[in-house]
Structure 1
């Protein structure tokens, strides 16, 4: 029992082939070796597993292929004249002395009791205890069988077939003896499937203080290897395992699968080079190729921070920084980083590349805030960072911001003015002064009376006043109240109340499912754009399909449906956002399109050689013509197709069992549409 308890810490709770499912099934795995085929299996239900250990397992081998050809009459051989059951307890003793995993399996099968975490009392608790104990027996046994193939064979959960031939392929069927309620399973394999187990990849080492974090790709290899072993060497020649037992991943969860596996190796000293290599171990006890060795050594952690000592302000955007750090500690670090924020709480950003350990000065000229908080971080060789306290730097600033640019705006029909401009880039920008005049010779007035934050502004003008224009300019202001030169003056025309003249259609054409429209533009001078609109005949609401702000006078609408009647309208918009009338700016068009309609959105064919069939699956494009049915034509590639099936429109999958092996079949799918529109034919090729 002591061996059992030690191994309990390393149980892999989720096994690849033995996940619990609703229906009890024998799950089978197999591997081809040079001159034999090895099998492993288990029942995916703890209760049925316990019963199966009494009933035993039977194995039938069916010869499927010989010399690459299907055997005309399947040859079935019973490999287990007697059902395979666990050997008697006395026969386990020698193996238990040298194999801890055999002890776990023997305890799970023959042990009178099995430790269950947490004591419970009462009749209900006793039942729960029994269920928990069975689950633990089951889980520990499957894990131990994965770790020791020899013990699995002794338990009746593994088999070695040495009566195989190199030119044959077999289907192995494993079932619980005289227990039809537990589904049997098959595995097809031959000696030709033998391959060398590949070495694990992405083997890396990250050094730390007197330890090394080793990592490798787990996701790719977890279905191949049940465990891994890391080996270590001082000289790169003689390697020894870092652990007495193989390493397993305890962090791989069904809802959070692991992509990488880790192992931390502790070191007695830093700065000594160690060599590491890695190999995987399959559930059949096979070792993979060994990875290429990697090297690593421990690195000392840093404990002494740098200290900012002084600064010299060159101008409002440039400063020289100085700091102090012990020279004798330079060999322990990569260097320094300088961080900057506009307040003591941050957030701070890194403003320098890694500065060499011997440097003690930095010139920063990328722009300063009105108040600048600098810190310096020491970077250890293991990327550890130790950051200093902050130092305040405040430059003297008498230079105003740059002149604002990009001022533009619009006045709508209600007299609402919307201004916007390009934002200034100064870090110490306070905001903008908004200046306005009603006439060209009038003095500008600050209409916001303080700095405005943002780069757009909303104002209003009276449409009853006689002035036809209004004038704006803005000036930028910094935190020290330095004001820039004002921007260029923006002149805005007040809106009028007369809509622009209407544009008119001069021609249209309906061809290949598209409608091409041509029109004559409005002759009004204040037109700023056009809106092309569409609706189905009989509907009230118009939908804009194109907004036009340039001189184009032609548009092709390809988002129409065949045989529908549409109405199109073109209207003009002026500077005051007034729209022209629709009265003489409409045209009615009937769409005719004889192009085949793509109807099938998904098409797939899967060759299921085990069950001797091809499974076809498809789906239709949503929001298209309703599909009433489907005609499917079939042929061997290179021969003419013939009608094979006529199906209703609600059928989306079909099986074809009229097949010959090593043939390439073509399926032609032609939907039948309710609208009588021609549907596009889709062709699927499947190699069987």
Structure 2
């Protein structure tokens, strides 16, 4: 037998069958055997293969028993007395045709010595991977070559021909492994049932098509042919189909192409274009049977390379309604046939020819007699060869000499909805060369307007949006028109739109109050919001409900005299600002104490100052009455009115406030006397203490 290195054979077949190995290498169980069968009229041929390398090793060690039973019989009967095994190395040397590459490949898969890798893997895991790769290559060679060659399948012990059959009689077949030292240990294949009918004729490969390319043709055939065929041969005829030559020495296996595509493809490289040839495809099944050739398809390589396109393209407005296009020709291609001048209405538009036949190579200019008036005309010149391949030049624009702008847009109207969407519309311009409009916006009529849209608006309407959470209720728009030469029109009249009011006005702030026995004088700083239309004065006596005392229609009003009060009680006040949308905002309420006609005497000599430590406020007063009573200390700031702060025992005439308020520059204090019968004195005169806390 000729010595063939295993690595060389692996490389020979690997390029064709690598993708198939991803399926045959799958780690199936050791006892996994796959059986198929096919009738040939006077016989039935069985073919099988192990599902994994370990399963193959068991087949080599034990051999295979082929069993059959006829319809109606319960018992499977063996067809071979001795287990069927692969040929030994000696048998390969003495009985096989070593010129057959498939025979040599399976012999090397069985007995060849693997060539060490150029980059051997190290360590226990690396050695295991090296071993796995070697076993996978051997197994791949065996499986693929058994499918491609009957002698190879016989040499592996993976084929059996049953000639002892009766025509039309159904049979069931299976194969199994039998442990010679443990007969009960059996691994069996699937069972196949078929009758010894006439030989099944393979159909040809169908849906074959050809795509012509430059110095190539690409053959394509439908992938569903793989349901019948394992591999394909490609043949070519240059004498009109009288004889064919095979193009691929090794058949194309159906697992090597992109399995996401619905088509197989095979590219034939050609030395020259325009030399017709016929092509056909022959399918092979797993029994190495060859189907009839497919219908032939005819084709040739074609020239797909267009000449170099024109350069230095220029357009000139001749001033009489015509455009002149000129260019230069850098092409030296021998098959260059001429030029085609085209025009479009936009840079990326559809360019249409301006003449029926290509212009000769000697003509390097063209006059467009009918360009589109008052609009840009985009031109490109194509170079064309004798095979009608074309290549486009750069695009140039031909502009009319137009310095007249469109008229001022009129009829600008708009609306702002409840969520801030804005719709603008105006009357469309009547100029034939009008290109579109630009929209501008401002939040003040006398301030700069900014363009809303970066692109030209080609309709006479525009959608915009604005926030409603703003105190600025008015927004302003104006538009202008531009023509195709971008001449701008005058601005339209300014459109004023009012936003729906969603923001309540700023709250008023109390600044001062004076309380007497029958009246309270209130002063405040009004809301700064310009849309306030009313101010409401509300009063609450004790724990009663709030009552409206007055509605002031002057938004600037800043004082109110409440003459309907009772003396000797606490009353709360608040001011509510109301805007033209009915939105309201309340001030912080204040609490005042009204006087009494029978007022008890108040404290005397009330004074306040910072203590010697500078960390607390010291309050002092005098009071002649010694009956049981309580002093009420009130405190406030520059921003907040006096509020009840502390209760002091009636025997005391001093109070130290060590809880001064950070951030306040001063504190205001007052003292009131609370008698056992619940009556109160008037508040003392307030004392303001400037803070300079250390």
Q: What TM bracket, shorter-length normalisation?
A: 0.5 to 0.7
Aligned to 1:539: none
**Secondary structure of the equivalent of 1:175?**
strand
Looking at structure 2, the residues matched to 405 and 56 of structure 1 have their Cα atoms a distance apart, in angstroms, of 98
In 2 relative to 1, CA 227–318 (structure 1 residues): closer, same or farther, beyond 3 Å? Answer: farther
Aligned to 1:214: 219
Alignment of 1:76-155 (within 5 A): 76-93=76-93, 94-111=95-112, 113-115=113-115, 117-120=117-120, 124=124, 125-155=126-156
Looking at structure 1, the residues matched to 70 and 489 of structure 2 have their Cα atoms a distance apart, in angstroms, of 91
In 2 relative to 1, CA 35–489 (structure 1 residues): closer, same or farther, beyond 3 Å? Answer: farther
**Secondary structure of the equivalent of 2:97?**
helix
Aligned to 2:195: 190
Aligned to 1:175: 176
Q: Verify: 1:482 aligned to 2:487, yes or no.
A: yes
Deviations 1:276-317 (A, max 9, x none): 111111121111121111112223453631315554558999
Q: Verify: 1:432 aligned to 2:438, yes or no.
A: yes
In 2 relative to 1, CA 226–459 (structure 1 residues): closer, same or farther, beyond 3 Å? Answer: closer
Aligned to 1:233: 237
Looking at structure 1, the residues matched to 75 and 48 of structure 2 have their Cα atoms a distance apart, in angstroms, of 23
- TM-score of the superposed pair, with normalisation by structure 1: 0.56
Q: Highest Rg: 1 or 2?
A: 2
8 Å CA contact 2:169–2:195 kept in 1: the answer is yes
Looking at structure 1, the residues matched to 150 and 410 of structure 2 have their Cα atoms a distance apart, in angstroms, of 78
Deviations 1:144-187 (A, max 9, x none): 11111221022111122233344333332222233958563223
Aligned to 1:582: none
In 2 relative to 1, CA 452–177 (structure 1 residues): closer, same or farther, beyond 3 Å? Answer: same
Of 396, 405, 423 in structure 2, the residue corresponding to residue 419 of structure 1 is 423
Q: Verify: 1:201 aligned to 2:223, yes or no.
A: no
Looking at structure 2, the residues matched to 123 and 417 of structure 1 have their Cα atoms a distance apart, in angstroms, of 71
Q: Verify: 1:291 aligned to 2:294, yes or no.
A: yes
Q: Verify: 1:32 aligned to 2:39, yes or no.
A: yes
Deviations 1:474-529 (A, max 9, x none): 443357543469999999898799xxxxxxxxxxxxxxxxxxxxxxxxxxxxxxxx
Looking at structure 2, the residues matched to 377 and 242 of structure 1 have their Cα atoms a distance apart, in angstroms, of 40
Aligned to 1:156: 157
Looking at structure 1, the residues matched to 172 and 199 of structure 2 have their Cα atoms a distance apart, in angstroms, of 16
Aligned to 2:464: 457
Stretches of structure 2 lacking an aligned partner (at least 5 in a row) = 361-365, 456-461, 503-580, 584-694
8 Å CA contact 2:102–2:148 kept in 1: the answer is yes
CA drift of 1:410 comes to: 3.7
When structure 1 is superposed on structure 2, of 165-174 and 328-337 the one drifting more is 328-337
Looking at structure 2, the residues matched to 141 and 387 of structure 1 have their Cα atoms a distance apart, in angstroms, of 55
Looking at structure 1, the residues matched to 122 and 499 of structure 2 have their Cα atoms a distance apart, in angstroms, of 90
Question: Cα RMSD between the aligned structures?
Answer: 5.2
Alignment of 1:67-82 (within 5 A): 71=72, 73-74=73-74, 76-82=76-82
Deviations 1:403-436 (A, max 9, x none): 989987543458x461256999999957424589
Looking at structure 1, the residues matched to 338 and 294 of structure 2 have their Cα atoms a distance apart, in angstroms, of 30
In 2 relative to 1, CA 484–153 (structure 1 residues): closer, same or farther, beyond 3 Å? Answer: farther
8 Å CA contact 1:175–1:185 kept in 2: the answer is no
Alignment of 1:502-521 (within 5 A): none
8 Å CA contact 1:429–1:477 kept in 2: the answer is yes
CA drift of 1:470 comes to: 10
Looking at structure 1, the residues matched to 203 and 308 of structure 2 have their Cα atoms a distance apart, in angstroms, of 46
**Secondary structure of the equivalent of 2:139?**
helix
8 Å CA contact 2:375–2:484 kept in 1: the answer is no
In 2 relative to 1, CA 462–174 (structure 1 residues): closer, same or farther, beyond 3 Å? Answer: closer
CA drift of 1:131 comes to: 2.9
**Secondary structure of the equivalent of 2:107?**
helix
When structure 1 is superposed on structure 2, of 83-92 and 326-335 the one drifting more is 326-335
Aligned to 1:56: 63
Number of equivalenced pairs: 476
Of 280, 284, 288 in structure 2, the residue corresponding to residue 281 of structure 1 is 284
Of 227, 230, 246 in structure 1, the residue corresponding to residue 250 of structure 2 is 246
8 Å CA contact 1:337–1:379 kept in 2: the answer is no
Deviations 1:442-490 (A, max 9, x none): xx9998354744632236899999x9x9997744335754346999999
Stretches of structure 1 lacking an aligned partner (at least 5 in a row) = 65-70, 439-443, 498-575, 579-688
Looking at structure 2, the residues matched to 134 and 122 of structure 1 have their Cα atoms a distance apart, in angstroms, of 18
Looking at structure 1, the residues matched to 66 and 147 of structure 2 have their Cα atoms a distance apart, in angstroms, of 20
8 Å CA contact 2:29–2:55 kept in 1: the answer is no
8 Å CA contact 1:332–1:381 kept in 2: the answer is no
CA drift of 1:85 comes to: 0.4
- TM-score of the superposed pair, with normalisation by structure 2: 0.55
